Structure 1
Amino acid sequence: MKEHTDTASVALKTAQELGDLTSLGIAVGTVLGFLPYLAALLTVIWTGLRIFDWIEARSIRLQATVKVEKDKKNETHTPT
């Protein structure tokens, strides 16, 4: 059997492919347009987490230092 290619169906298929590519381009452009805002938001969240971690680590170190100092003080005042 001979395959029949209708000009209208070829034009329709080409238009659909062009529409798909245009849609994809618009979707990518939209995502890339929002990307700077998303990156800024994630940067703020990450920086906040790092600051919280730094404060928590400093607090833990300070508590450990105070405990060591108390232990040293107790050792010097304990009669042997």
Structure 2
Amino acid sequence: MWGGLADQSYPEQKVAVEYDVGTHAHPDQVPRDVRRAEDCARAGWKEVRIMKDHMANDATEAVRKIRNALNDRGWRPSLRRPADL
């Protein structure tokens, strides 16, 4: 399963989330990241890349990006409430 290699994954929707920190800008890391993204696409997964600035304001932008990717893959949030509420 390709998603097992991601920082976070949603196997049912085949969405892989990668959090890129400063080390991803290193010249040796860039080609590995490109190959990883290509492998992800070949395996039928959608990769969502989250950068530090996406985490501002309670990670609003990161959540939006991930939710959009999940929605694109057919996910819909449950409207059910927990039984104990």
TM-score (ref. length: structure 2): 0.22
Between the two structures, name the one with larger relative contact order (CA 8 Å, sep ≥ 6).
2
Query: In proportion to residue count, which structure has more helix?
Result: 1
Larger Rg: 1
- In terms of fraction of residues, the more strand-rich structure is 2
